Chain A
Amino acid sequence: MTALRRPGVLFGALMIAQVLLVSAQVQSKSGVRVLELVTFEMFSRVERATAAVVHGVEGVWSNYAALRGARDENQRLREELNSLQVQLQEQRSLAARSEKLASLLDLKTSAAVPTLSANVIAGNPNPGVRTITIDRGTSDGVVADMGVIAPAGLVGRVIGPVARHAARVQLIVDRNAAAGAITERARAGGMVLGSDDTPPLKMDLVPNLSDVKDGDRVLSSGVDGIYPKGFMIGTIEKVEHRGGLYLSIAVHPAVDFGSLEEVLVVMVPPRPAQHDEDIK
């Protein structure tokens, strides 16, 4: 204990212990689950409490602000509702027509994806990593590698370890995140990766000869076994031909991560990723 009081010895011991910790994880790729889980479990309770206080204050303020502009907003919403009702009628007739066509062609209709709503209770305390914490965990049936979506599109995936009442979600814009993707118009397949650049998504592995244009919508292809197929990832912002085998594509995310308060966890356990042969 006396030796540990000497600064050099203490510093050396701390550094060596952490180097061993890192080496063990790099070799096994399994991570220090117990340490991570205990820290996350404890801290997620603090995060829930903090989020409750912050949301409470925000709620009081927004209720006050909402009261002030309620009449104007009410009028605007009525007009919007009228226009949406007209659109709904059109969409219904279109849906009915496509259902009839699908039954004529004997196509199987895809079942709706089972989801669980969750509140975002905190961000990540490490500025270099883009993750969020949600208030659903193993007690709600959430497991690692489940996809997370929002009404606008793909958000990310649950990463382990998952606590009882909280889980961490790696955002699709994190530099270590990736998802199988396909362009809606040309059906060009590839992989969407997060990055630190602006926009924070890029699409890789799209062959140079593919017909891909600015403004094309990028959807999840489902080949990764995590994200459900057909969900919006973003819109192509820039396509560059760099002379290699693949195009360089910048994608603007569909989800506005800045105003993300509620998300939906896709309650389908992850399945093994499909290989090229399987897709063909």
Chain B
Amino acid sequence: MKTVVVLIGVAAALTLQATLSGMMIGRMLAVNLVLVAIVYAALAFGAVTGAIAGTVGGLAQDALAGGIVGIGGLSETLIGFVVGLLGAQFIMSGVVARFLMFAVATFVHAAVFEGLSALADGRAFAVRWSAVAVQAAVNATIGVMVFWVIERGPDMLARRRARRATFSKRRF
């Protein structure tokens, strides 16, 4: 069941990413929502779910982008699995730890993706680290916010409902 939920999340991230980049054609979009979804899945559900999410998300991104299918898949499977393992070994419930995990995952993805692309195309390895740093910061911020909304959102809604119910019972 959780795998199905994660795959739906990855598909939603993919659709949102395509829509956003459609609005910002020609410019580098400083966010990778699919990667955010994969890292979230790995931290929340573990290495296996992270690896599956990475494979599906990465292959779908590759297939839609045109070019060699599997490079993004390899990179994101690796990230999903390693982040899942690290999440199981260390305490990752703090904001800083999660922020760092999303940011480091973005850097690793950029390096692995570009490295494999350069290898396959027979060209020099070239990454604009400044652009990757911006993307890492944006991805990490969104990732931490997603965690916050999913973990605290239901509690806050329940509390608000309870407060409303108390007010409505009171007689003034």
Task: Using CB atoms and an 8 Å cutoff, list the residues of chain A in contact with chain B.
Answer: 5, 7, 10-11, 14-15, 18-19, 21-22, 25-26, 31-32, 35-36, 39-40, 43, 46-47, 50-51, 54, 120-133, 159-160, 168, 170-171, 173, 176, 196, 200, 253, 255-258, 260
Contacts and interface: CB of A to CB of B under 8 A. Distances in A.
B130 to A, nearest CB: 11
A81 B69 CA distance: 51
A16 B120 CA distance: 16
B74 A120 contact: no
B65 interface: yes
Contacts of A54: 19, 22-23
A122 B132 CA distance: 23
A163 B34 CA distance: 23
Nearest to B28: A127
B70 interface: yes
Contacts of A170: 66
Contacts of B18: 43, 47, 50, 122-125, 133
Q: Is the interface of A mostly helix, strand, loop or mixed?
A: mixed
Interface string B58-95: 01111111111111111001100100110000000000
B26 interface: yes
B69 A32 contact: yes
Contacts of B55: 14, 18
A46 to B, nearest CB: 6
B20 interface: yes
B63 A171 contact: no
Nearest to B62: A126
A123 B65 contact: no
Contacts of A11: 47, 51, 77, 81
A57 B121 CA distance: 41
11 contacts: A7-B47, A7-B84, A10-B51, A11-B81, A14-B52, A22-B68, A31-B68, A36-B69, A131-B65, A196-B126, A196-B128
Contacts, number: 164
Contacts of B34: 125
B25 to A, nearest CB: 5
Contacts of B27: 257-258
A19 B74 contact: yes
Nearest to A172: B26
A123 B51 contact: no
Given A14-B55, A47-B18, A196-B131, A127 B70 contact: no
A14 B75 CA distance: 11
Contacts of B5: none
Contacts of B31: 127
B116 interface: yes
B47 to A, nearest CB: 5
A261 B68 CA distance: 27
B125 to A, nearest CB: 13
Contacts of B69: 21-22, 25, 31-32, 35-36
A128 B15 contact: no
A18 B81 contact: no
Contacts of B25: 120, 123, 130, 132, 171, 257-258, 260
A120 B73 contact: no
Contacts of A47: 15, 18-19, 22
Contact of B66 (A14, A46, A129): A129
B21 A123 contact: yes
B22 A121 contact: yes
